[in-house]
Chain A
Amino acid sequence: MLSRVADSIYWLNRYIERAENVARFIDVNLNLMLDLPAGVSPQWQPLISVTGDLEEFKQRYDLFNSDNVIQFLCFDLTYENSILSCLYKARENARSIREVISSEMWEEVNSFYLSIEGIAKNQSFSGLPKLFAKVKMASHRFAGVMDATMSHNEGWHFGKIGRLLERADKTARILDVKYFLLLPSAEWVGTPLDQIQWMALLRSASAYEMYRKCRHYITPSSVAEFLILDRTFPRSIHFCLWESRRCIHEITNTPSGNWCNSAERSLGRLSSELGYITINDIIQSGLHEFLEQMQSSLNQIGNEIHTAFFAFGNPPDALSNQSSDYLQLQSTSLSQSSSAKTLSST
């Protein structure tokens, strides 16, 4: 298939998954806030820290309060990872490959974007929980529609890899929230508040119910084990990596255990590492450090996928989907040179 098309379907899925996870972040924090004991002030900064875009936030806003953080993460079109920006780009990607994806997929993305854009115009604090539920459901619906209406061909596998890598990255970040999320003091460790925070974290990965089915107690190490290493939970990092590994082998037709490009090799290596590491190993070397390392490995794999399948001689800094400036440039250059007349005679 066309490299550009593979690139677009990969990013279409990444952006939708990203929008969903941003909604998860904020949703859980809102929940937590309502459960805080009197006198403990709500924490908004960890949400921004975990996105890795702290500097971008500071350039735009002075205060870490609910209004600013929600505006930034949900609706700010100047911030490229806000929910609305993600959906905008998901839709532009979908538009450019409408003939490849099923029309049901396009309709899903289109109405997803239009509905959130509509909400962005008249947002209210009380409407937020509904908004996040909507974003999560729409994202699941998109994944379901893609599964059920598009042939499970090469393009479908690229899309799936995009979604899974994004999800692995975000699960790592969700787990890392707890690192940034400070308890009022060391005495609070192991108290109901600590418990509540870990539960909230599970909830934000939609993992609470599934977790309870296999573990009785909520302890930091078993929560981390569940979200990193569980073999069957679809949002665990292990699950995401092994599935993407399966997809990349479908694309290249290389037998499992072999590799034909560096993306395939890195993905195979990282997933194998996860397959044979224990949670104790991870905690001994530092959970936060492990998660940071995971994020950078995932980035690396993303770049290698780009080089192996999409780039075709273009340097990685011209990634059409990673810099919002580029889209903009492209739009100007096109409108200057193409005659922009629909249905004008010829």
Chain B
Amino acid sequence: MSSETGKILTTDGIPLEVSLKKAERKNKIKAFLLVAPLLLFLLITYIFPIGDMLMRSVDDKMVTEMLPKTFKSMEKWDGKELPPEEVFESFYLDFQKLVEEKRDGKLSTQLNYTKNGFKSILKKLRRKAKNFEEGNYKEQIMAVHKRWADVEYWRAIQRRAPAYTSQKYLKGIDMYKNEEGKIVSVEEDRRVHRILWLRTLEIAFFVTLLCFLMAYPIAHLLATLPMKYSNLLMICVLLPFWTSLLVRTASWMILLQQQGVVNDFFVMIGLVADDSRPEMMFNKTGTYVAMTQILLPFMVLPLYSVMKTISPSLMRAGKSLGGTPFVAFWKVYFPLTIPGIGAGCLLVFILAIGYYITPALVGGASGTLISNQIAFHMKSTLDWSFASAMGLMLLAGVLAIYWVYNKLVGVDNIKLG
């Protein structure tokens, strides 16, 4: 096509190649314009805010901006002994400005995160600082409280100088940067977050396993029964699927309570005595039972849609070639269902790992998951940057699972129902 003479022209004299490319580009733009509104909407309201979470989780500008002079004069300080007069003076000036702007409370909260004990000494400093004389601030500040003469506290302030920090992420896995700047774990009995991460993984794993074990036989039954029966039984799967999550959680709360139906039944068949009814709610048992039932349809549906496509003659062929039904199942049927197993397990595991409502209602203290911790920090402690950091760690985990799944099985069309 490239030789001058062989060029094919359209009727209006433009080379065909150019004309086609133009049409192609026009089509591309047309297709893109259709997607653009939703894409733009999601970028602004959803994707960028997730980026915003990332910024928040590492952002530590608050203290940096509150004590600009202090941090400037601290640059020359080696941190070994008490800082020089210059640092004390600039700290005093910064602090007075914050008091005027009524922002000293925020500073004390922030510094208290870094080291306990700042709250009271800042309060005291605020009261005394009104009567400070000019000059020799080091003496005057140190006289306010003996902790002001402790170099540890000045080092703690210095640690807040950088505008960005990984501190929230470290806190999320129960680690912190100690005075020497080394990353170490917190004491054994304060490692709350690691327990939560492990528990979240454990519960998600076992819920997935339970769902798989329960879903496989019924998906198989649904796929092999004649239509008129399977449609009827399918309702048992689809009705819970379409029913409000809170309704299903409520029914488990009623069933599992101490005077509930399940306990009544146990007493009736003599499994437990009437006066020693086991506690089945507000602990891990409650979380397991309720989550398994709630997530079960998400396992059944992908398995069913795969099993439906497997021809029954394959099993028959396996048997006629001399395999027992079990061998035929294991060698022929089971390998064919692996895509369904993969999709179901992925779906259930990812849903389970981010579960919030059900564990919060039936989980009690020992059955709550990482999501509950995130919500707790969003709503109660208002430590939004920590909530963001934990959320992003969870998100990274979920994306990693997707990636691995994609490598192993391949994410083809996600099927709904």
Q: Do A and B come from one complex?
A: no
* Interfacial residues, chain A to chain B (CB-CB below 8 A): none
